[in-house]
Structure 1
Amino acid sequence: MAQNTMKNTAHRLKAVLEVLAAEDPSAKRRISRGEVLAAALTRVPLEGREEEILAGGAARGERALSTASAKLVKAGWITKEGRAGWSITAHGRQALKDFPETDALLEAMEGVAPKGSGSSPAGGTVSGTGAKGAGRPAADAAAEEVIEEALLEAAAPEMPQEQHGAHRTMHPVQPSFPQPDAVVLAGTVGRALGCADWDPASGDLQMKFDRSDELWNLTADLPAGHYEFKVALNGSWDENYGQDGHRDGANLDIQHAGGPLTFLYDHATHLVVTKPDVGV
């Protein structure tokens, strides 16, 4: 099943590029994150365990795609501009032309020169596959490198149990990678909820960690309006993340129609999404 998800996610990443390439670059409105992911999932539908809904509200396969899409940003092929939407870059358009096959496209995205290309990948530099890719086709190694982290993120850990007579002992599962001690949603949401704006140590805006999907979450009933925010770790601004998961990055911003809104922070990618999706 993991191999199927890996293959499907690779095809969905290509679909993301194709969806964005089909958009009119002169249009005033860019396509939103939710619209891009929905279109990619329509082209390559979820199947089997990919359809399971995680605690954050997203399907396992959708979560894997959302996480893996950060690779497209790092390759310089797409841009994510919060409320302004997603768009494809010139490098991304060229990559689609140069590498029509999914395997070659994934290799190029990872900076591995596709077989027979004789040139550097679009928007990247040529590098070796290293020990991880030794003894395997370059396409397989590149695809695994791109998707593996997304699969780990999309895998909801189970709670191990031990049977002791009529009693069962539940053992909390440790996170699959180190997590911060605290995550605060700091920004202009503070005043709307009766506390200070941009307070990295706010107890009222402290997010809670959900071990089942390894996401930090906070649900707030917000008035209609425009909000800007970042996530601040461990009670200070020493480590904070903004747009596209960049450390010390630009503020995230949303236009909210009003009502309950759940913010989800993924410490693996440093990305923030909302449920319902309002275009972070």
Structure 2
Amino acid sequence: MAKSTAENTYLRLKTVLDVLTEGVWSGDALNAGQVLAEATARVPFNEHEAELLSGGIPRGHKTLTSATAKLVKAGWLIKGRSGWTITEDGMRATVAFPDADSFAAALDAGTPVPADTPVPTAPEGFVRPVSAAAATLEVPAKEEAPKKTARKAPAKKAASAVGKAAKAIEDAVEPVVKAVRKGKASAKDKAAAAPAAETSAATEPFEGPDVETLPQPEAVALAGDFNTILGAPENWAPQYDEAQMEFDFLDQLWKKSAELPAGFYTFKIALNRSWTENYGAFGTFDGPNHELHHAGGKVTIRYNHATRDITIN
């Protein structure tokens, strides 16, 4: 009998811990994408889970990435900038709750791992099994978008331009000043002197340094399970205006601030109002969801297109 999505998800969550434990034994460091790929390869999607959502993401993959928050809440998994790390309690949980039913029950109820449960050690002669997701474990290096070469005016040229402009203004104004002092200047003389100063000063304008910038997408959206709170018709829909971030030219960051109720939220960065190009945790293309444990109130999320990653405060 085929297992339900819920049953499969718990099996995959346990597999996440199994894969990370094997990584500890073998000394291999696995990133989030590799761990999730291995978990879904060992526990394949059923027909419903394999259905692709609007962004080309399998339904089961999205469910799993959201559900990994349960492992974090239980204290069995730590999600850091450098990757995912299993805790000692997480390793012990694979021993204390060895089957899917006991594992799911403990995770849902918040049952702590019994204190006398040992930390599992690698079997004698252990060799990490050949990956079931070997074809997908290689994560391609992210290509950096080409930077525009900044054209900077040399300091001497800038200083020369300023000096010439100042001298031109001084030369043009001096006759007017003398005429006023002598009481001989007419309104016509003054009117002629002012345009002359402006024209002379404009003959060699000041050239300041250009700002070095990175090519940016047309639009950046926070697509997640809080979009309806922001006023969008539905969640996980990057095409709506309510999900769009604002670009700050000064620091080259995309930003969005919003008032959110207290709760746990998940989201991704989606470019150009579609799922074709999207980034999740650690700036990974089509990676795991970003997570937000929010106490309530105003929150600001910033996206850096140079790193494809975010900051939250």
Task: Give the TM-score normalised by the residue count of structure 2.
Answer: 0.43
Name the larger-Rg structure.
2
Bigger share in strand: 1
Bigger share in helix: 2
